[in-house]
Structure 1
């Protein structure tokens, strides 16, 4: 979409991610980038006993073993373009507790640890992942078992969304392979993460088992065709009231000029000769209009030569 203006416009356009661009016909447009979000899968983080430790179940050997389960998401960028993905983790009952979780990202073969980024919504947390073309990243989110004060029962459930934040050509899509998994470790009864003084002797008889479950995706396939952000225009302010003239009403002007104004002196305005304040104000307005005219002529010359400009990002 393009907004075309002559003179002053009554509507102002703005967005959080935008850029100005001038076209060949002299009109200006403000490009607003709206990413398209897609659902990926559910997730469940666990650090708890697999069954309640009440008396009837205690008599069943191994029934109350603990489990540590995390969410693993493999992102394969099949294009030749380096892409930045924004993952959003949604959890409501309960919301994710960043103090009890740890996040790691692996693109080059080594884990990079960090935390999710909170948003204005307390139930939504984001993570930005940059994946080079033809490369693969692994995102991990799990309870932080290195914490000495981690509760014996940690459980978070929710769903994950993904979007591309890299701005490319409008309408361009990218084929991305997403593989979400739950990976878990079953822990022996009464297991402690405190390193024992004699690891070999104390680990004798401990029973560890691994669990890997591929999660269904929202598309039913590992292939996601993610679009690049869409360009759009959105109004911020509808300035229907005219800007007041300092101390005096602004003379009314016609909606459409009758035609080209022939060169020559500007007819005098009544009262300008006897009112020093009005005369000074009109002189400043004349200087401003002259500067605008020179700027428009300069831009028109650049446009005729095929030049364009994009303003810096905010």
Structure 2
């Protein structure tokens, strides 16, 4: 009869309890999800919007050719990003993948970026990071290195003369390894040089690798970029500088090179090919480093360090 159903399964209460087959989901939902992420990484937070706007402005800066800026660079992978941040490589933005599995490297990268107060922290979905890195194995971390602001070759002599010193400049001919560039920048800083000149084409630039090898000295030693290295050397000669080229078959031993006593540009060629023909013909003197041992040549960074030490010793 309607209204008098005696079915035992009829529901008589709206209260919900544990159901068979829930698998403990309700219990797990009460567990903590770790520390609250920084405001810059929280979706919809005002600080994240500000950081994203800064990153967009940084990416939108125009690129200038010759003696201006290089293109920005991305450092990808957890180990590479952490090492770059440890070495104080200048960076604009640290991109962290959404829902990333935190480990010690991820936490350290976020901490180091936060301590600098100049690196924006942005959270991005994996497809976006894949697009940015063109499919590289980024492991959820991508660090953007800003464009390097190259000096003009004439700026190096001007700064030396402003300090009342004879210019000591190193020019690189055919050096394509950024680590060699970073090592030479470090030696120039250590021995009182006034800067490094690199060609605009077919040469190493100030990448993250060069920054790391320089051990922070790139922040104090300017690197200039010349559209034509031969013309830059000729301009230095007109300004009164001697151009000394390092050559294993040079005419003068290093210890006998009096040109190092005054304003000078030391030209270092690649380890394999040495100085190019035009650059070699432009040099006022070619100097060799005496090597009584069995080695036929030195690494470009080591050779530059030897010459810079001898120059600093002569100048007292």
Greater Rg by CA: 1
> What TM-score, normalized to structure 1?
0.23
TM-score, structure 2 as length reference: 0.23
Higher helix share: 2
Higher normalized contact order (CA 8 Å, seq sep 6+, divided by chain length): 1
